[in-house]
Amino acid sequence: MPQTLEKHFKTLYPWAESSDIHTSYAPYRVCPLGAHIDHQYGIVTGFALDKGVTLRFLISTDGAVNLDSLNFPEHVSFDLGNIGQKQGNWGDYAKGAAFALSQKYQLRNGIKGVVRGTLPVGGLSSSAAVVLCYLNALCLANDITLTPSELIRTALFAENGYVGINVGKLDQSCEVLCKRQHLLALDTRDDSYTLIPAPDTLGRFEIAIFYSGVSRVLGSGYNTRVDEAKSAAYSLKALSGMEYGLYKDTRLRDVPPLVYEEYRDRLPLVFAKRAQHYYTEMDRVEKGIEAWKRGDLREFGKLVFASGYSSIHAWETGSPELRAIYEITEHVQGIYGCRFSGAGFKGCCMALIDPAYKKEIEQQVTREYLGQFPQYKDLFSVHFCSTDDGVRVE
């Protein structure tokens, strides 16, 4: 437990008995392959990291939620009987968790505590991690037991149905299902998944997080691309004579690759680019899973770099800062592959690296990045992580 979190908690609740204090933890996640396709019911891969969000909390019997954060200044409080509308701040995720859980369960007991994330916000699915922390805390407080699939669906509904961001289920699934030294392969259409152990031939690797210094916030840019991908699917169905049903139910996973190949030239350019990314990314996922099983990190890393390229040129995301990091890592020794982590709107990049080169990687990427963006001297940071297990609460 980070001392700063424990110290702050004791300052706010000095009277709390140790037996009454609980901890909810959710790891951050990275998706090496499967970028931007979970909302199209694609197949994605993921690792949970050994860094994440921790909530220290007490159970309150008055039905109130009171939260403080070491990452944000505002105090958040609301009543479970009157959750209210979102306010556009970090407290919306706690409200979203309570709202989603209350759709099926009656919540009598609240929580009060302090939450802390251990890495800069942006691209690591911190929003899903914090929602899962709140959900597990509220479940413990109210004697509710959720299966892993129920926990994932409830967390997803909190972001989709309350916060209003159209994320897919990749984030929540990684943070619930992942295991240390395993690659998660998740089919987001039917929720089937496989945890593929690292073979003995794989060798040592770590995950580098390059934080650009610019915090990421999902919003209209993310949602617009989701709609463009769905529009591509709807158009392809109509052009090919497929039964297309309701727009809201349409995904590119519904459209066979051969249909895309035949009719892609008749799509509006922007729709065609989104579809191109989807189909090529699905191919990279398939090839990446096979490379992982063979223990071929170099091939796996090449596919990660290719995913990053497609994110820039076909999905058309990536701030100037993130593109710079991506381009720098292409020529740094010891980096197998790199791409944006998350949606690509500010935030950070992730890379699979050879741990023997950690010092050189940090120095070279830092030097070249700050040479282009000296204004982020006090904000840019490099973090090295290992894979880890998923959520837990006690």
Q: Which residues are catalytic?
A: 171
**Beta-carbon neighbour count of residue 394 at 10 Å?**
9
Give dist(CA 363, CA 359) in Å, integer.
6
With a CB cutoff of 8 Å and minimum separation 6, the contacts of 307 are 32, 33, 35, 281, 284, 337, 339
Segment 151-157 long-range contacts (CB within 8 Å, at least 24 positions apart): 151/176, 151/391, 152/176, 152/177, 152/191, 154/97, 154/100, 154/101, 154/104, 155/97, 155/100, 155/128, 155/131, 157/100, 157/103
**Is the CB of residue 195 less than 8 Å from the CB of residue 178?**
yes
Torsion on CA atoms 367, 373, 379, 382, rounded to nearest 10: -40
**Is the CB of residue 34 less than 8 Å from the CB of residue 44?**
yes
Token pair recorded at residue 135: 């959900």
Give the distance from CA 151 to its chain's centroid.
15
Give dist(CA 338, CA 326) in Å, integer.
6
**Measured at the alpha carbon of residue 60, what is the angle toward residues 88 and 143, in degrees to the nearest 5?**
95
Give dist(CA 211, CA 61) in Å, integer.
40
Burial of 341 (0-12, 13-18, 19+ CB in 10 A): buried
Give dist(CA 308, CA 21) in Å, integer.
43
Backbone φ, ψ for residue 43 (5° rounding): -100, 130
